[in-house]
Amino acid sequence: MATILVIDDSPSEMAKFRDMLAKNNYQVLEATNGEQGCQMATDHLPDVILMDVVMPEMNGFQATRKITRGKTTSHIPIIMISTKNQETDRVWGKRQGAKEYITKPVDENGLVNIIRKVMG
């Protein structure tokens, strides 16, 4: 069973992701901010990370950069998921190392397809 680390500061978004992923047989790890997410990525080495962008202290762009440049975590594919839907946000997210960038609200089938794609 693949493990997905969800990094999102919104309890309602976290609940949606937890339900969607569990229904599709993924094990879910949860972090409520970028700093905690970076630590959990190092500790657990999940198969994929779903990363929110807008979070207090360390935002998703900063956390993505830290994880994708980390010695032990650089191999983990990150999918950024945000309400920010400008082309500049997408480009910046990919520049930080994200494999994909999708906008909220998230379609369950679309998300599962993207997870499968980034996992190879």
**Predicted model pTM:** 0.97
String of b and e for 27-48 (b: at least 16 CB within 10 Å)?
Answer: ebbbbbbbbbbbebbeeeebbb
Per-residue pLDDT reduced to its tens digit, 6-29:
999 999 999 999 999 999 999 999
Contact 76, 47 (CB under 8 A): yes
Angle, helix 34-44 to helix 60-68, in steps of 10 degrees: 30
Domains, the chain, ordered by start: 3-119 (3.40.50.2300)
* Bridging pattern class, strands 3-7 and 48-52: parallel
Contacts of 66 (CB under 8 A, 6+ apart): 34, 38, 58
Per-residue pLDDT reduced to its tens digit, 52-96:
999 988 999 999 999 999 999 999 999 999 999 999 999 999 999
